[in-house]
Amino acid sequence: MSASGRVADPLRLPLELDLFEGPLDLLLTLVLREEIELAELPLRDLVEATLRGPDEWDPPTTGELVLLLCSLVELKARRLVGEDDDDDYAPDPDAELVRERLAAQLIAFAPFQRAGTWLSMQDGIDGAVRYRRVPLDRAAALQAPHAPSELLEAIIRLMVAPPMPSMGHMNRERINVGEIVAELRGALRRTGRVSFDELTDGTDRLAQGMTLMACLELARRGEASLAQPVPFGDITVHRMQPGFAGE
């Protein structure tokens, strides 16, 4: 397998294990274990393939990615210039600066670590919170006196079977717009025009709404026309003679 082949496959590998969160982590680990020859690794192809990846990265992920790629570049550079030859070794001033910052950060954070230890010793689980924390209303309810006869009555009330829940809503009559359209067509065929109020007299609001939809449907199809001379007044549905579907 060529070096480029090694790069291409891991980048397409949706790997997510305990130790590896992606192909680049795996690649870096293989490089560190010297199971991949870093000198043959085409880093430019790797960077381009990574940047062309389908994922959108948030700033933390982008930062980790940049760090990872920089680590690979540094490792390859060290390998190519033969840094391991002790004769020509010169400490990298930037790296030493980073290391000194690490030491300074550890020393600066130490007081907070110690403060955390102090807090652990004060932790209320074993110490400070040693008073009752039951809400007062609940405590008052628990202390409410009840006579045995009151408790007996309460138990008897609990033992009475509750009324069966109503299933009336399960058998509600279903209204079909198609059926209303057919009825409307029949009425128009017989009389030529019908009154909406007469059509819906004695029906509930759902049936009235569905009847209005049927009227609008016939108007949309060109089978009827609607007239409402007065706002909120009665609607008259007229049969349209040409092309009337019922004829």
User: Which chain residues interact with other proteins by CB under 8 A?
Assistant: 60, 91, 96, 99-100, 102-103, 105-120, 122-136, 139
Distance CA 23, CA 72 (A): 13
**Could you give the CA distance from residue 50 to residue 44 in angstroms, rounded to a whole number?**
10
Please report how close the Cβ of residue 45 comes to other proteins at its closest, in angstroms. 31
| Minimum distance, C-beta of residue 225 to other proteins, in the bound complex (Å) | 59
237 forms bridges with which residues in the sheet? 194, 226
Nearest approach, Cβ of 107 to other proteins (angstroms)? 5
Q: Which is nearer to other proteins, 129 or 156 (CB)?
A: 129
- Cβ proximity to other proteins: between 13 and 139 the closer is 139
Residue 96 Cβ, how far from other proteins at the closest point, in Å? 7
CA-CA distance, 84 to 90, in Å (whole number)?
Answer: 11
Query: For residues 106 and 245, which CB has a smaller minimum distance to other proteins in the complex?
Result: 106
How far apart CA 185 and CA 182 sit, in angstroms, is: 5
Taking the least distance from each CB to other proteins, the nearer of 54 and 124 is 124
- Identify the three-state secondary structure at position 238: strand
Distances (CA, A) of 187 to 64, 159, 196, 198, 199: 76, 58, 11, 11, 9
- 3-state helix vs strand vs coil in the chain, percent to 5: 60, 5, 35
Of 135 and 178, the one with the shorter C-beta distance to other proteins is 135
> In the bound complex, what is the minimum distance in angstroms from residue 88's beta carbon to other proteins?
16
